[in-house]
């Protein structure tokens, strides 16, 4: 079995500088130097970039997806992507929607630098390799801390713990350790655009989080800055004050879709409160089910780029519900 490891940088490839800060340093060859020879598995490494993930854009992540697709098309049985964890949620969601749901693709990273005594870098890389070489495909996954969760569901839930990622309400796909991969479930979402070309670029979609006393200032600033879509992390089940609803109405008139998520990070948003979510829906807002703000931002950008503005409502609904196009 031939496996490709695509390195993009991140903490998994970082080491301490003389001043105590972490900096990306290791190439894919250095990452793989700690992976033992595995019977029947041929691992090839490729350097895509050498950057911390907080510097990456969605268009940078599209380049990674293209590389994943290319390696699969070249006959590699599986692909592992090493990535910084700061924006792994966006990279994973993007990859999962542009790759077949059952593809042998795993994204991994680390919370501790490669030269720290208790680094999780080598363990996570080895676990990711275990996932893409498992007897039965696990599906496109995030693999960290001995757990594989669906890439389409994953979200970072801790700044520094080695078990920093969760599959949210969907839970885990598998447990991973030295004995192999124990499958627990299968993803019900993802792969929506697996048969479509990877877009050349994604449109600008801004994310605005509401706080007590918030008004329409940030939404209107995004519109003036040229955002082609907006995502609002609203209160509770998807509520916002009237000034926000007015900004949504103006955005809708301009043809700029506004998508509502919850700042709580769990549960579905629904337009059920008069003066809140119900008014947002009447103003033209779309509700993104249980997607996090960052997931909804990627979903909206993909829908705008691939389906076009007029098809965004149906595309977003299908992405949220896991329906095939």
- CA–CA separation, 60 vs 7, rounded Å? 13
C-alpha distances (whole Å) from 296 to each of 68, 72, 124, 143 are 22, 27, 27, 22
Catalytic, 11? Answer: yes
Torsion over CA of 70, 71, 77 and 81, rounded to 10 degrees? Answer: -110
Helix axes 58-73, 88-97, angle to 10 degrees: 50
Instruction: Give yes or no for a contact between 227 and 255, defined as CB atoms under 8 angstroms apart.
Output: no
Instruction: Give yes or no for a contact between 176 and 127, defined as CB atoms under 8 angstroms apart.
Output: yes
Candidate list 8, 11, 99, 292, residue with the active-site label? 11
Tokens, residue 242: 């009237």
- CA–CA separation, 172 vs 71, rounded Å? 26
Active-site annotation, residues: 11
């Amino acid at each position: 079995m031939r496996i490709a490891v695509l390195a993009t940088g991140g903490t998994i490839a970082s080491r301490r500088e003389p001043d105590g800060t972490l900096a990306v340093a290791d190439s894919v060859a250095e990452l793989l130097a700690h992976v033992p020879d595995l019977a029947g598995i041929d691992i090839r490494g490729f350097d895509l970039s050498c950057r911390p993930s907080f510097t990456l854009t969605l268009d940078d992540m599209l380049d990674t997806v293209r590389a994943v697709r290319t390696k699969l098309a070249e006959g590699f049985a599986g692909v592992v992507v090493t990535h910084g964890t700061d924006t792994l949620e966006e990279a994973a969601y993007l990859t999962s929607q542009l790759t077949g749901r059952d593809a042998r693709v795993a994204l991994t990273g680390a919370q501790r630098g490669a030269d720290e005594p208790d680094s999780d870098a080598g363990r996570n890389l080895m676990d990711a390799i275990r996932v893409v070489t498992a007897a039965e495909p696990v599906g496109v996954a995030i693999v960290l801390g001995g757990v594989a969760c669906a890439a389409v569901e994953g979200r970072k839930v801790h700044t520094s713990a080695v078990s920093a990622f969760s599959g949210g309400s969907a839970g885990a796909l598998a447990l991973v350790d030295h004995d192999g991969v124990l499958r627990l479930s299968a993803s019900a979402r993802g792969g929506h655009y697996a048969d479509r070309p990877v877009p050349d670029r994604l449109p600008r979609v801004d994310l605005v989080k509401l706080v007590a006393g918030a008004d329409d200032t940030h939404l209107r600033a995004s519109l003036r800055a040229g955002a082609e879509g907006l995502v609002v992390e609203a209160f509770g089940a998807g509520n916002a004050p009237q000034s926000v609803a007015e900004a949504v109405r103006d955005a809708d008139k301009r043809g700029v879709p506004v998508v509502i998520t919850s700042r709580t990070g769990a549960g579905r948003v629904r337009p059920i409160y008069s003066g809140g979510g119900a008014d947002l829906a009447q103003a033209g807002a779309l509700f993104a089910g249980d997607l996090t703000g960052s997931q909804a931002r990627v979903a909206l950008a993909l829908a705008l780029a691939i389906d076009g503005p007029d098809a965004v409502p149906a595309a977003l609904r299908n992405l949220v519900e896991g329906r095939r196009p």
